[in-house]
Amino acid sequence: MSKNLVMVFTRNPELGKVKTRLAKTIGNESALNIYKFLLNHTEITIRGINCDKAVYYSIKVRNNDIWDKTVYQKHQQKGNDLGERMHNAFREAFSKGYKKVVIVGSDLYDLEAKDINYAFEQLSKCDVVIGPAVDGGYYLLGMKIMHSQIFQNKDWGTSTVLNNTLTDLNNKTVKLLDKKNDIDIWEDIKDIPFLISTFITKK
């Protein structure tokens, strides 16, 4: 067992239930295809990292999917909102003895293994590592002890999340990584020709 763990939060890829804001512009089928691509990209990125790995499913754990059970611990997310679900995942990880824990989402086109490796490195020097998202949230969170306050009293999915999280951590050392863009709406993909030409049949 490694002392480092990376956790990936995913949504079960079902038609009409993923990337619903994006689907309003490009349709449910194209949105699902893009999310499946992002899932695969995330899995490939995570697979090569030298640490333990876990995937947390939004609804139901799947046994026969892209997440090889010999590589990934598999769990179902538990909690009423995103904050509670992340809090429970971190608590479970620390209870197992992990010393550095990083969580990432599964909807980043430009996520790279080096981002996660760098987050682990920075946790040797600071309390918390955060990867800011363009929309005002974050795509990565890393900790070495629990900071429960950051999972409470947040309007998840809004532009206030990052700033409010940093306020909660004002007496801690925080390393901010490069800003990246979650894929949520049309504006997030309109300048990525590969996604448009490969997965969108009509606009």
Amino acid at 79: G
Cβ neighbour number for residue 189 with a 10 Å cutoff: 24
Name the residue ranges covered by the structural domains of the chain. 4-198
- Identity at 176, one-letter amino acid code: L
Helix, strand or coil for residue 139? Answer: strand
Per-residue tokens: 17: 């239930």
pLDDT value at residue 196: 87
Q: Is the pLDDT of residue 179 over 70?
A: yes
Model pLDDT, residue 1: 81
Closest CA to 57 of 6, 7, 88, 11: 11
Q: Residue 49 half-sphere exposure, CB side, CA atoms within 13 Å?
A: 28
Rounded to whole angstroms, the Cα distance separating 144 from 5 reads 10
Q: Distance (Å, rounded) from C-alpha 42 to C-alpha 38? A: 6
The reported pLDDT for the residue numbered 202 is 57
pTM of whole model > 0.95?
no
pLDDT band at 125 (very low <50, low <70, confident <90, very high): very high
Q: What is the mean pLDDT of the chain?
A: 94
User: Mean per-residue pLDDT for 56-67?
Assistant: 93
The class of domain 4-198 in CATH terms is alpha beta
Amino acid identity for residue 108 in this structure:
L
First to last CA, the chain: 47
